[in-house]
């Protein structure tokens, strides 16, 4: 007898992959970037679906397919979630302390650098005719 298609395994795996690839999209919004709850939510839904599928595959193997590929997909999904969590909750938090950074009340160190047109711009230029400057250091696009 042909066994039934075990859709929760496929759906769960697709949702976990979606949770990973949507990270770039969700970083566009501070509310989903500061804490990646949207991605974690997708991971959670995906894992639950995978477990439902596995439960069916192992509980009623004569009815449902998916003992082998269900196990493989679930293992991959768990690894994806583990790597994502390691990146989010460990790697991204390895930021230097910057104990010597200028503090509130101190004079900001002067600088002179080329802008995007190759024109030299100094801090003094930015401060002239302005009420202040917001200096944003960023990692760069490389």
Residue among 27, 58, 61, 63 that touches another protein (CB under 8 A): 27
Residue among 5, 25, 58, 111 that touches another protein (CB under 8 A): 111
What is d(CA 101, CA 81) in angstroms, rounded to the nearest whole number?
35
Establish if 88 lies at the interface with another protein (CB under 8 A).
Answer: yes
Positive or negative, the CA dihedral 40, 44, 45, 51 is positive
Q: What is the DSSP letter of 122?
A: E
What is d(CA 102, CA 30) in angstroms, rounded to the nearest whole number?
26
What is d(CA 82, CA 47) in angstroms, rounded to the nearest whole number?
12
Residue among 4, 33, 60, 67 that touches another protein (CB under 8 A): 33
Establish if 110 lies at the interface with another protein (CB under 8 A).
Answer: yes
Establish if 98 lies at the interface with another protein (CB under 8 A).
Answer: yes
Distance from chain centroid for Cα 135: 26
What is d(CA 87, CA 129) in angstroms, rounded to the nearest whole number?
43
Establish if 138 lies at the interface with another protein (CB under 8 A).
Answer: yes
Establish if 101 lies at the interface with another protein (CB under 8 A).
Answer: yes
Considering only residues 53-72, where is the footprint of another protein by CB under 8 A?
Answer: none
Residues that bind another protein (CB under 8 A): 27-28, 30, 33-34, 36, 88, 92-93, 95-96, 98-111, 113-118, 121, 123-124, 126-127, 130-142
């Amino acid at each position: 007898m042909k066994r039934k298609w075990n859709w929760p395994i496929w759906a769960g795996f697709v949702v976990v992959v979606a949770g990973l690839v949507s990270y770039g999209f969700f970083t566009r919004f501070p509310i989903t970037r500061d804490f990646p709850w949207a991605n974690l939510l997708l991971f959670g839904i995906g894992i639950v679906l995978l477990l439902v599928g596995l439960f069916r595959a192992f509980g009623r193997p004569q009815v449902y397919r998916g003992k082998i590929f269900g196990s493989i997909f679930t293992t991959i999904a768990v690894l994806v979630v583990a790597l994502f969590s390691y990146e989010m909750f460990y790697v991204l938090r390895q930021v230097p302390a910057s104990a010597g950074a200028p503090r509130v009340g101190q004079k900001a160190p002067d600088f002179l650098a080329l802008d995007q047109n190759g024109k030299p711009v100094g801090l003094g230029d930015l401060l002239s005719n302005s009420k202040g400057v917001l200096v944003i250091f960023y990692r760069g696009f490389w």
